[in-house]
Structure 1
Amino acid sequence: MNCRFGIAMLIATLLSVSNLSAQSMEGDTIDYFNMSLEDLMNMEIVAVSKKAESSFDAPLSSSIITKDEIINSGATTIEEAFRLVPGFIVREESNGNYDIHIRGNDNIPSGNFAFFTENSMSLIMVDGRKVFNNMNGGTFWETLPVSLTDVERIEVIRGASTALYGPNAVNGVVNIITKKAQDKSISVDGNLMVGSAATTIGDFAINNSFSENKLKTRISANYEKRERFTTDYYNWVDGTYGPYTNLIDYMSSDPTNPGGNKPLQPNHPTYKNPELAKDKYGVNAWLHYQASKKVDFSASAGIQNSSAQTVFMEGSRTPLTTRESESFYFNSQSNIHGLSLQFSGNFGTQDIYVGSGTTSKYDYNNIDAILEYDWTLGDLTVRPGLSYQRIAYDDSDYLPNADSKNGYINGEAILSNFAYYLRGDYQASEKLRLIAALRMDHYNKPEDNYFTYQLIGTYKPNDNNLFRASYSKANRGPVIVDFYTNYEEGSPANGQFIQYLGNDHMELSTSNVIELGYRGQLTKQLQVDLEAFYSVTENFSTFEPTILGSPTHTENPLPYLHLAFNYQNAPVIAKQTGLTASVFYAPSTKLQFKAFGTVQKTALEDLAIKETPMLIDPGNLVFMDPTYELVDQTHKQTPSFYGGMTANYRPVEKLNVFVGLNYYSKQTYTHDYAYSQYHYISKEYSIPGYTGSGVAELEANTTVNAKVSYKVYKNSSVFVNARNLFNSNKRQFGFADEMGGLYLVGVNINL
């Protein structure tokens, strides 16, 4: 898809589609900073119940990030803004590229071949449109077409929400709600910042309001380009960092003779620009028509193009690889007297591992349709709904030839899901509220039905205190690689024939979650929020090898190695226990403090650890099936403590000073295959000076950010912005880049 085609589709969609509700407030007329604590507690939130309600009364663990809070904080991307939210783990991999997890449960089993760093257990939406990556799960954040200037607010639910939002809402839900035009004929807003590491970030939007403010339009464009703080890459073979020309493939190399391995040549396509961290742009347009209080129609569409160097755990030479994407989306929604209809789609092309030597490029299209109705009977509100999703991925156009098995799926792969669900909300008394949500999903892969539910109760003894409890069951949705992988390399003629295969009998990951919470306004200046959670998650995906034949195979001796990797469900069960606390203190209208932290433990039961890898005698090329030991241990990749603090000070109307810090405790990253292969061989063969690879020990990390801004005209301001103020060079994610300070100057425009 080229840029001209995308722009043409954007214009055509806006001319032909007349429905989507942006679910957004009249944001540009509200100054959240000057609101009282009581007003802030009663801001409207939609995500928790799919209807507007007071954020204080929200029955689940939830948060709102307002656009003013994001602007004040100096966050340079939507991803970085999640550092303002309790319960989020936000780790930077390279300049501007982040790994984001809600509460953890990330990369289980640790570093397995099936896993990518993107969080496949959380659902991200833009105006209710799902932006989940269905190839392998998770969110490719650089592919979001919208930017910070487009954001009105971000609503967050921590904890299982599949019964309300569908599959993948296991650890939580994020809904990025975009702006709509103000109640004036024309307005503009934007942001431009430039700084170190060749960083340029720009956003601009123009808004119009017509027909007595009933019809509103908005068009925006954004651009972002950054360089890495280093040009080195992690080398699996020796565990050091260096130029990409020193990298060696750990899967095909001989660690007993590392000098005999062939390094990469200069100008390799994966590393054609080793300095680049991110290069992206997006164009978006919105149309909203408010016919009456109970009838509104909206539409949006956009394009994006992006390239990013980010950690990709399947890289057999190094985890940091290049990913490229271009896509077009549309989103529409109608609200008519309680009936809500949403129809959205996303179409594009991605190459998830540029230059890998495999056909990792594919076309995809996702279509979603949702129909819901709000029906109120006295103190009972019932919300039935239907949804349908069809997802298609196809790499046929990029294969070397029609008979090739060089691609991940080698043809078209389709996932579909039809669901029906019901949510009941009953105000049993002035103090007691009871909520139940039930959902049944029918999948084509696996060909099975999954029933999920959510039971919630809140008790509000007075206006300043709320107690809540919930019990939920949630599941992750299917992804393409689990069921459709169909890749081959080598051949019997050259001595090695390897297959990578999906599995029609995979079960979806499921989680059962118990939560208890308390929210209270202790004084006029002080609010606290506590949430305790316990979850049991099972049926994680893993990717394991089986030797079907070899020269030394006892049951099937062959003159060549025949090896098959298969997706399957791991026996491991993750039991997570945690507590999140947050405090909001506003001693005056000039000063606000926030502090939040999560302490958690993720215990893994029956984790399969390789005692021996496949290659046990490299000199004689002797292979055997790996042997495993089931162990119980604490998952060390999720930090045991993470949190942050912010202070926002406005001494005079025009001057704003923000300081924030984020902290997480030490972590250990282990890449299963690189570790088991080299540590076994180095131990058995006593390789002199060989230190092994595949393990990254990360120290506890504190990142301090600051921004000072000054209004020069109305709501437009100039600013200086420091991310990682003290230039800490600690790595924030395993096998990723050393971080550096990012220092920027810029201007915010709001006219």
Structure 2
Amino acid sequence: MKNVLFKYMVAVMALGIFSNHINAQQEKPIININELTLEQMKNYTQDDLLQLPFEDLIALVKKFKLSSVQELYNLLLNPTQSTASKMEEDVFQSPLATTVITADELKKSGARSIPEALKLAPGFIVREKTNGNYDVHIRGNDFIAPGSDLSNSVNSTTLVMIDNRPVYNSFLGATFWENLPISVNDIDKIEIIYGPSAALYGPNAVSGVIHLITKKADKDGFQTDFDIQAGNNNTKIASGAFNYKNENWAFNLSGNYTNSDRFQDTYYIPQLNEEVSGEEVGAQNAIKDTNYIASEFTNDYSLAKDQGAFNIGISYHPSDNIELTYRGSYQASTIQTAYMDVGSVISTRKSSSFSNSLNLNIGNFDGHFSLLSGNLNAIKGMPGYEYDYKEAIGKMGYNFKYKNLVVRPGVTANYAYYSDEDYVDVEANTGLLNGSAELGTIQGSLRLDYTAFERLRIVGAWLQGYFYKPERSYNSYQFASSYKASDKTLIRMVASKSNSSPFVLNTYMDKSIQMFMPANETNEEGTSLSLNMVGNENLKPQEMNMLELGVRHNFMKNLHADVSVFYNKSKNYSQLVSEQRNPGEQETGSAPEEEINQEPGSSITITESMQNMDLKSSQFGVTASLKYVMSHKFNAAIFATYQKTDLDDFKISDATVYQELTGEAIDPMTLNQDPAYISMEHQYTPSFFGGASFNYAPSKKWNINTSVYGYSKQKSFYTEGRSFMNVEIDPKISFNLKTSYQVNNWMQIYVNARNLTNNTNREFMFTDKTGGIYMGGVNIKL
């Protein structure tokens, strides 16, 4: 895979260099400074701008309120961001590992959705489950503990925000990407910080933060932007925006719609180790869990995604120091994706929600308040997984500046309410909650940022919080320093700790399952089995400690490198554990069939509760990226991550699992009474992953963007009852290509190919073998 990737990069870069040399003297950039936007300007190099008359440069400085022509040049080299420090600064100066994906990069890349666009960022593992539905992790640490329920594969440690509004789902602690009301075309830029960041953003910013910042009208008057594309697998993607701006006010109305089909209409059943037709899936799921309602399984077996949303934005900007922004959104979606192993693994998730958010900036003060309400059916057909929810978030902070010191105090309060009482028989305990549940958090933080000798920067942040639903205090910290060794080199170091927040399901679960083991040769009357699953209000939240070293270096004014070396340790994972075990009963709480059958007509009750595990993970890794901008005609980015994750104190109570993992046989009764603890390498996070992107504009009319993304082999295992199944996912490289032609000032047409070579290797365990999507589209801007 590495040789293929290397050859691909060399070929594309050679093409860009050769073409640029041929065309260098044929065409000089024509820049209309009156219509030029900030994002468009970032596509030009210093050499391009130097060809402008001096009076045009001064006009640009005034237009974008810059202090000098040199500052204008700097905008081309490092896009600004504010997520890493809560202050506006360019990426080169950031004391944390930081990446910014701009709107122009998103548009040229052809990415169909936000999670797919994250393939453009270093350090991201993005795996497609079904057509257009993705699993996203920063640096890995995913599916821990291996062999457990697939819900443990959901990313519950990355905080995603839209304009400062967290979009984290508190029921199981996850980001459901289809619930985001915005599309790629709504985004001005994506700011990403890596590693524990709860000291800045509160719980759940454990592995990092993804901040989606939406577009605002950038010039006075009316503007429209419509983009429509369609292709194979019934793929239809449409987005549109209407903007208006005058001196103090800006108005935005946008909408988006996506529809796509799966690459197959069959479903893989792990316990059968075979594919079955859609008509059979409901019945197979009901066999595994008798509560499953087979008739409610989707009838549209081919559907992968049906998603739509509307957004409205209003901003008031009476002066340079005051801005008030409101955003309201509605979204509805139905997708088929892997979420939990209910027989088929792939199930239907359906949701709708309203959100309202308000951002206020007055000088050095910033405040945010948001309300969210909605309905989500996480597994259609499984009682208890449909619920209504309401969430409220308020936060504010202030930057006190004195000479070279910035002091930022902040306070945040969150409240979440979840209820399934309208969808289950509460008295019969058929739901997961059988009523309502609340979560609440209040926290205060303090951040100090000091620069000495104009080269050494020292940053310290501390957060002290309190979960009042359930009651628990917590703290997080982040200490960072950077040293500007020269104008071209910045060295940085970070030590930080963050934790997740309680989840509704882990905390308040209250579910009963009644099962009956039918009569057989040894048990003529059969056996009744009652399984009670309960949450735990005393669970410790998952926690990560990280140490990171990094360096940024500008080899030339247009060639930048960034390297990060990181080491982290995580603990306080949780899972259901049997509290009451009869002789021979398994750790999972399910008694062996021969034990149940020993007493005809008997009744057995098993209680499982959510408990912290002794399991710990440690990860060492290196991420490197290289960016090169030859001119507005050609630019390239290459990035890769190597990581190794080890697990310690992995508890095993099943003899089959122990033998499969260690190669040693052990007496089942001995292991059941005295579980073994082993250490092992965790290989479900690929050891190598990365990609590259290249953009070439041979003329003012044409633009060609190509990208590649790949990862190495992944290995894990899956347990179903007493059976053990090794799971391997082969390496995969996918190539993308978007070629566009500017017909006139307001229309662009393009072809967009995702997974150009139609590599159908499965990317996520037990899910679809996703292939290529080939689309044609048109973009209209007036």
TM tier relative to shorter chain: 0.7 to 0.9
Shift of 1:404: 2.7
Shift of 1:298: 0.8
Between 1:364-373 and 1:536-545, the stretch displaced more is: 536-545
**In proportion to residue count, which structure has more helix?**
2
* Equivalent residue, structure 1, for 2:468: 444
Shift of 1:547: 4.3
* Equivalent residue, structure 2, for 1:257: none
* Equivalent residue, structure 1, for 2:153: 117
* Equivalent residue, structure 2, for 1:425: 449
| 1:407 and 2:440 are equivalent in the alignment | no
The answer as to whether partners of 1:501 and 1:566 remain within 8 angstroms in 2 is yes
2-side partners of 1:736 and 1:332: how far apart?
Answer: 39
2-side partners of 1:348 and 1:610: how far apart?
Answer: 41
* Equivalent residue, structure 2, for 1:18: none
* Equivalent residue, structure 2, for 1:600: 643
2-side partners of 1:435 and 1:296: how far apart?
Answer: 27
Residue 529 of structure 1, aligned match among 562, 572, 577: 562
Shift of 1:293: 1.2
Name the Cα RMSD after superposition: 2.6
1-side partners of 2:536 and 2:146: how far apart?
Answer: 21
* Equivalent residue, structure 2, for 1:696: 727
| 1:187 and 2:223 are equivalent in the alignment | yes
Shift of 1:611: 1.8
Shift of 1:112: 1.7
- For 2:424, the aligned partner's letter is L
* Partner SS, residue 698 of structure 2: strand
Shift of 1:218: 0.1
* Equivalent residue, structure 1, for 2:363: 337
Aligned residues: 689
* Equivalent residue, structure 1, for 2:276: 242
The answer as to whether partners of 1:112 and 1:543 remain within 8 angstroms in 2 is no
Shift of 1:84: 0.3
2-side partners of 1:725 and 1:73: how far apart?
Answer: 13
Distance 1:29 1:74, change over 3 A: closer
- The correspondence of residues 227-376 of structure 1 with structure 2, limited to 5 A, is 227-247=261-281, 268-312=295-339, 314-356=340-382, 358-376=383-401
List per-residue Cα deviations over 1:555-605 (Å, max 9, x = no partner).
x99921212222111111100000000011223331111110000000101
* Equivalent residue, structure 2, for 1:678: 723
The answer as to whether partners of 1:245 and 1:263 remain within 8 angstroms in 2 is no
Which consecutive unaligned segments of at least 5 residues does structure 2 have?
1-35, 47-72, 517-525, 583-590, 658-668
1-side partners of 2:513 and 2:759: how far apart?
Answer: 43
- For 1:515, the aligned partner's letter is E
- For 2:678, the aligned partner's letter is V
List per-residue Cα deviations over 1:11-59 (Å, max 9, x = no partner).
xxxxxxxxxxxxxxx9676343224595343321111011101111011
- For 2:567, the aligned partner's letter is Y
- For 1:141, the aligned partner's letter is W
2-side partners of 1:626 and 1:488: how far apart?
Answer: 26
- For 2:768, the aligned partner's letter is D
Which consecutive unaligned segments of at least 5 residues does structure 1 have?
1-25, 255-260, 615-621, 680-693
- For 1:631, the aligned partner's letter is I
* Equivalent residue, structure 2, for 1:5: none
The answer as to whether partners of 2:527 and 2:602 remain within 8 angstroms in 1 is no
| 1:55 and 2:102 are equivalent in the alignment | no
List per-residue Cα deviations over 1:387-427 (Å, max 9, x = no partner).
10001100111123x41311111111101000000011101
2-side partners of 1:262 and 1:349: how far apart?
Answer: 25
The answer as to whether partners of 2:235 and 2:259 remain within 8 angstroms in 1 is yes
* Equivalent residue, structure 2, for 1:453: 477
The answer as to whether partners of 1:655 and 1:709 remain within 8 angstroms in 2 is yes
Distance 1:495 1:264, change over 3 A: closer
* Equivalent residue, structure 2, for 1:495: 528
Shift of 1:111: 4.0
- For 1:511, the aligned partner's letter is M
Shift of 1:241: 2.1
Distance 1:301 1:43, change over 3 A: same
Residue 462 of structure 1, aligned match among 461, 486, 499: 486
- The correspondence of residues 374-385 of structure 1 with structure 2, limited to 5 A, is 374-385=399-410
List per-residue Cα deviations over 1:340-382 (Å, max 9, x = no partner).
12101110000000012x2311000110000111111111111
- For 1:364, the aligned partner's letter is Y
Shift of 1:716: 3.4
| 1:720 and 2:751 are equivalent in the alignment | yes
The answer as to whether partners of 1:546 and 1:625 remain within 8 angstroms in 2 is no
- For 1:184, the aligned partner's letter is D
Shift of 1:236: 1.6
| 1:706 and 2:740 are equivalent in the alignment | no
Shift of 1:136: 0.5
2-side partners of 1:228 and 1:269: how far apart?
Answer: 19
List per-residue Cα deviations over 1:154-187 (Å, max 9, x = no partner).
0000111010111111110000000011212100
Distance 1:106 1:625, change over 3 A: same
| 1:609 and 2:677 are equivalent in the alignment | no
The answer as to whether partners of 2:290 and 2:515 remain within 8 angstroms in 1 is no
The answer as to whether partners of 1:246 and 1:264 remain within 8 angstroms in 2 is no
* Equivalent residue, structure 1, for 2:770: 739
- The correspondence of residues 140-219 of structure 1 with structure 2, limited to 5 A, is 140-210=176-246, 212=247, 214-219=248-253
* Equivalent residue, structure 1, for 2:683: 636
Bigger radius of gyration, 1 or 2? 2
* Partner SS, residue 164 of structure 1: helix
Shift of 1:238: 2.4
Shift of 1:724: 0.5
| 1:545 and 2:578 are equivalent in the alignment | yes
Distance 1:450 1:639, change over 3 A: same
| 1:42 and 2:78 are equivalent in the alignment | yes
- For 2:42, the aligned partner's letter is Y
- For 2:713, the aligned partner's letter is K
| 1:394 and 2:434 are equivalent in the alignment | no
Distance 1:27 1:176, change over 3 A: farther
* Equivalent residue, structure 2, for 1:258: none
1-side partners of 2:673 and 2:429: how far apart?
Answer: 25
Residue 559 of structure 1, aligned match among 602, 609, 619: 602
- For 2:747, the aligned partner's letter is S
| 1:132 and 2:142 are equivalent in the alignment | no
2-side partners of 1:627 and 1:247: how far apart?
Answer: 38
1-side partners of 2:173 and 2:673: how far apart?
Answer: 27
Distance 1:363 1:636, change over 3 A: same
2-side partners of 1:38 and 1:486: how far apart?
Answer: 57
List per-residue Cα deviations over 1:461-506 (Å, max 9, x = no partner).
2221100001001111111111100011117997011111101221
* Partner SS, residue 81 of structure 1: helix
List per-residue Cα deviations over 1:491-543 (Å, max 9, x = no partner).
79970111111012210111110000000111123110000000010001212
The answer as to whether partners of 1:375 and 1:382 remain within 8 angstroms in 2 is yes
* Partner SS, residue 588 of structure 1: coil
The answer as to whether partners of 1:270 and 1:353 remain within 8 angstroms in 2 is no
- How many percent identity over aligned positions? 33
1-side partners of 2:722 and 2:283: how far apart?
Answer: 12
